[in-house]
């Protein structure tokens, strides 16, 4: 005979922030098709009333689902994915945008203000890219330094305990 108490639905839906991505995705996989539809509806209309109507559920039900950690995590995950996709599309279009700016900047028939604006935008973008590269390099150096210091501390603490 087992002495373990049955797990409540509330406990089953709990997501611990220390859980691994695999554990979180298992919790997300436990969502019903109706809950998955509600997440899609929330991506289109973040308001509870509109999303509930689009998902074919009551507003109170959607609100309750929003209180469940597994549902919230699935919704956060879906929003992150949507933003990543939008960012990728933006990056794909950036080459065309730069080319359009270059065309305006070099077009002798374009108004002077348009040419100056395009040139300023190209310069601003170049400066921002340079700054981001510099920040990335500095961050990588700091992270490597932190790893080395952590390894040194770990090694020092191991020898202290060994003696």
Q: Where are the domains of the chain?
A: 8-92, 107-163
Print pLDDT tens along the chain (163 aa).
Answer: 333 334 344 444 444 444 456 655 666 778 999 999 999 999 999 899 999 999 999 999 999 999 999 899 999 999 999 999 998 888 888 889 889 999 999 999 999 999 999 999 988 988 998 999 999 999 999 999 999 888 777 666 555 555 5
Instruction: Answer whether 56's CB lies under 8 Å from 33's CB.
Output: no
Query: What sign has the CA pseudo-torsion 117, 122, 128, 134?
Result: negative
Task: Calculate the CA 82 to chain-centre distance.
Answer: 8
* pTM of the predicted model as reported, rounded to 2 decimal places: 0.53
What is the structure's pLDDT at 54?
Answer: 95
């Amino acid at each position: 005979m087992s002495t373990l108490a049955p797990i409540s639905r509330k406990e089953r839906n709990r997501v611990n922030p220390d859980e691994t991505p695999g554990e979180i995705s298992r919790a997300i996989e436990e969502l019903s098709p109706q809950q998955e539809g509600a997440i899609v509806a929330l991506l289109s209309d973040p308001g509870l009333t509109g999303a509930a109507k689009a998902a074919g559920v009551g507003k109170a039900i959607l609100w309750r689902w929003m209180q469940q950690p597994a549902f919230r995590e699935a919704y956060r995950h879906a929003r992150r994915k949507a933003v990543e996709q939008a960012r990728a599309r933006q990056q794909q279009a950036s080459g065309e945008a730069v080319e359009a700016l270059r065309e305006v900047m070099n077009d002798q028939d374009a108004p002077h203000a348009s040419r100056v604006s395009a040139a300023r935008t190209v310069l601003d973008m170049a400066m921002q890219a340079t700054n981001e590269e510099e920040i990335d390099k500095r961050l990588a150096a700091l992270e490597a330094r932190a790893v080395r210091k952590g390894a040194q501390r770990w090694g020092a603490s191991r020898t202290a305990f060994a003696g």
